[in-house]
Amino acid sequence: MQSLDLNLLTALDALLQEGSVTGAARRMNLSAPAMSRTLTRIREAVGDPILVRAGRKLVPTPHALALRGRVHEVVEQASGLLRPAGELEPATLDRVFTIRAHDGIAGMFAESLARLFQQEAPRVVTRFVPEGEEDVGALRDGQVDLDVGVIGAMGPEVRLQTLFRDRYAAVVRRGHPILRGRYSFERLAAHPHISISRRGKLRGPLDETLAGMGITRTVSLALPSMYAALVLAAGSDMIVAVPERSSERVCEALGLKTIPLPATLPTVVISQAWHPRFDADGGHRWLRECVRRVCGSEGRRKK
């Protein structure tokens, strides 16, 4: 062949897959005479009859049989290259996605996300990395595909989509003294508390809310990891305030009990953030939709 003609390759693939001019014509939305003329051009190009008559049907020549697998692969690859960027067949996706999230968020939906990927795109690998500074550069450069969590101001360069709203609850071990007798926020504040902060902060929204009620809590320890704080609470009389949905799975596994916090405590907005350069990327759009679906299903599970 003097030059690659994708139309001829596509027609050859149809002829080899269908084994007949009529079937190939139907597959390509052509008339049978038009497909016959195309077969003539293919024969001239490759120097082989490709299909020969045997009784009432056509059968492929040995050369055609040798070409069949390779031709089909080339046509599939070319179709993928020419497919619009937003279109995607997840089953063909072979990619590693990096999601930046704290351990509570990862614990909430990583299992469901992995299960969904196995069903729809078994060759996709997901890598979770811990939260750090809110770094737009990591999103821009593709080091991180998605930020998932409580996203602060990252500027107009970043796309943001709300996934769900969470509310805080306090959790304690089974048999904790606060579970006996009449519950009050004063009693809650009197017990030692754990603060969860990757920067080591000892005060947060709960302290501001309690202060508005004239109550001050005792913070004895600050930890950067929600999981570590929950494990510590499960083995002590310390209390930790956590987003309820994000911590539900771990709390159930550790046998922790939930107690209410003031209704005026602000809710937590969990979002996903990405760089606009991935807006039209089919694989990235599929990833964002999967995260949205999984977070939605986790919300229905909670209800």
Q: What is the distance between the alpha carbons of residues 93 and 107, in angstroms, rounded to a whole number?
A: 25
Query: Please, are residues 145 and 102 in contact by the beta-carbon 8 Å criterion?
Result: no
Give, in degrees to the nearest 5, the angle at Cα 163 between 104 and 134.
60
Query: Please, are residues 288 and 88 in contact by the beta-carbon 8 Å criterion?
Result: no
- What does each of the 303 residues of the chain score in pLDDT, given as a tens digit? 455 577 888 899 889 888 889 989 988 888 999 999 999 999 998 999 999 988 888 899 999 988 887 887 787 677 666 666 556 788 888 888 999 998 888 888 899 999 999 999 999 999 999 876 656 778 877 789 999 998 877 777 888 999 999 999 999 999 999 999 999 999 999 999 999 988 889 999 999 999 999 999 999 999 999 999 999 999 999 999 999 988 998 999 999 999 999 999 999 999 999 988 888 788 899 999 999 999 876 544 444
CATH 3.40.50.1010 assigned to 90-166+269-302: no
Q: What is the distance between the alpha carbons of residues 282 and 216, in angstroms, rounded to a whole number?
A: 50
- Going from N- to C-terminal start, the domains of the chain cover 6-82, 90-166+269-302, 168-266
| pTM for this prediction | 0.67
Q: Domain 6-82, what architecture?
A: Orthogonal Bundle (1.10)
Q: Domain 168-266, what architecture?
A: 3-Layer(aba) Sandwich (3.40)
Two domains, one topology: 90-166+269-302 and 168-266: yes
Q: For residue 83, give every residue at least 6 positions away whose Cβ sits within 8 Å of its Cβ, in sequence order, or none.
A: 282
